[in-house]
Structure 1
């Protein structure tokens, strides 16, 4: 039996890895990661993963998409000619994470003996409950050190001299840049910081024939928001997910008064978290 940490490269998963190793010993722990193309996963996240694994003395175990060096959330959806199928999981998560994870489980834990550890915190009990249900239904055991363990030995990787990824300076999570589950505030950051990804996504919407985003009235294409975002950028609205959504769009609304009606819809959309877990 092994203790398997779902080691995403984010700060929370690093904290979980440290806690689990300190409790059970590194010889009993696996750090399981789905490596993602550096096109969408910042190189500093890879630095962070390597530094934490070196600190723990454990090599990272990878369960990757067969074309992980080149495959991106947008490209795998283009391959499928869809963003998602029906009400199911968005296809990028399925192709880049869930599929490789399921294959790893089949090959390495067919007897369902391991325990799988996730980095959800106490403010994400809905995610804990959902993950418990999904994994338990398949016969797998899970645990959530940050959310459930009463005793903690570490709260920040800076405590051991390892700086968290620089992506956190602008983004809430160490997810892919251009996350297909993220709201408009994230995509404004993409528009300003990574116009290559914005343009790729815009072209993909046209090729697939459907938008990444939708509102109560239906699909909302990136191209429809491009003029607004260009004006926001011109007026100096900083691309940052750490500004609360309501405040962020209020600032934008004041700056771009003539487009205020368009902005009203964004705050509720951005209240939903990006949840790209396996």
Structure 2
């Protein structure tokens, strides 16, 4: 067995904070003259992956801080007798992925060179951490290095090396995770900027006041703890007052305060500022009051608090696709742009947006589509298990049928339409189509009148002839639509679903 003077200690950097900490700790114990750093990237697609560049720079910064030259193991297959003798099926009994094995075999080549040319015995130090460290809600450690492999598999690989067993060490397995916040140490004490994949996560429920986003917020908090989560609400100033009551009760039930962001303008003021009336095809109000304010807030989290946001949305598959078994099987129910479900396509669009428009991509998650069970009834759980009354926009038809014995409201309820499809902007959503505005006229005629008058004010002010709705490719004002409903009967429009995709406000 080699004595200490015959050993060279090598930290295997995987691009994350755990191995960086282990490397610095190793150098402290054994000195720079007895230490080396190897970078083995853990990224799918390697250098073609944008994440690689940020983490690669991070590893370079760590090496500079420690004061050692960085040895990089490139993703290249070296052909020689030693490499060719290494066979996964014959030589290694491990569950490590094929891509990781290729890189570890390249490390073996380097280690054999150390033995043969320098007469030193390598000792490898890995940044693997116990599972409890990943689940610690205070530290909230997540890392690209989780993809490298388990301790047992890594140890088995190097113990079965063809030439000679190589010693492996896993220092973090012995640390008390409650006392160790690696990310803060590297960021605050070392002064090294963490790459996106290594920053401390903050989980943000995009809280719209709807049942879906409320349940997803609860789910998120249970998974990550209140200290790592935020309820995020962008107020358009058109919200129904009962939405605010509902949101306050959800906030109290979950135990998490609402982070409310205001642009300060109403949707109508946005239309005037942009000289463009929002409609079912394009809604500048959502872009300005919701999306823009969200992006500003998220970048401030990164810049000022050094946190990496992960967004949670309450989008669920459309009800008809929930009932259609061909569309709700979990393996087919992922967020995809070519989905037959309009809501899932919308989720794919949101994911694409947050991957491309922020300064750095922001991860978005859709548990009601990709994670939770298909038959989950968020409205029922909130109303009957949590004891929280749903926003009146969801039950407006029921209330009108019961309180006023209104015949139209009764017909809506008979057809399973208890209220509005989403609870945003007090029913005045400009992305709504014919059914939406027929429902608004039938249930809340005063709000319909407000929207009709807004449209008329806009046209008069800008001397235009534009409208929220279109018919036969031309302008079709809410006044014209109301007159047609009064002449032909509102029932004609109540029970034909709109083809429009819901506004992003429905989910943010």
* Global fold match (TM > 0.5): yes
Match of 1:9 in 2: 209
Instruction: State how 1:260-271 maps to structure 2 within 5 Å.
Output: 267=496, 270-271=498-499
* 1:73 and 1:179 in contact (8 A); partners too: no
Corresponding residue to 1:230 among 483, 486, 496: 486
The Cα offsets for residues 19-71 of structure 1, whole Å up to 9 and x where unpaired, read as 1111111111100101232xx31111000000000111111011211x2xxx3
2:364 is paired with a residue whose SS is strand
Aligned length, in residue pairs? 243
Corresponding residue to 1:79 among 273, 285, 293: 273
How far the C-alpha of 1:88 sits from its partner, in A, is: 8.6
Higher relative contact order (CA 8 A, sep 6+): 1
Match of 1:256 in 2: none
Match of 2:363 in 1: 141
Match of 1:118 in 2: 313
Instruction: State how 1:1-278 maps to structure 2 within 5 Å.
Output: 1-37=201-237, 40-65=238-263, 67=264, 71-83=265-277, 89-110=282-303, 113-123=308-318, 124-137=343-356, 138=358, 139-150=361-372, 155=378, 156-158=381-383, 159-169=385-395, 170-176=419-425, 177-191=427-441, 192-194=445-447, 195-208=449-462, 209=464, 210-231=466-487, 237=490, 248-249=491-492, 267=496, 270-277=498-505
TM-score by length of 1: 0.78
* 1:4 and 1:29 in contact (8 A); partners too: yes
1:48 is paired with a residue whose SS is helix
Q: CA RMSD in A?
A: 2.7
State the distance in 2 between where 1:6 and 1:251 align.
Answer: 30
State the distance in 1 between where 2:371 and 2:393 align.
Answer: 27
Larger gyration radius, structure 1 or structure 2:
2
* 2:455 and 2:467 in contact (8 A); partners too: no
State the distance in 2 between where 1:73 and 1:26 align.
Answer: 32
TM-score by length of 2: 0.44
Tell which deviates more after alignment, 88-97 or 119-128: 88-97
How far the C-alpha of 1:112 sits from its partner, in A, is: 6.9
2:504 is paired with a residue whose SS is coil
Match of 1:258 in 2: none
State the distance in 2 between where 1:112 and 1:136 align.
Answer: 17
Q: Which 5+ residue runs of structure 2 have no aligned equivalent?
A: 1-200, 319-342, 396-418
Q: Which 5+ residue runs of structure 1 have no aligned equivalent?
A: 238-247, 253-266
* 1:178 and 1:198 in contact (8 A); partners too: no
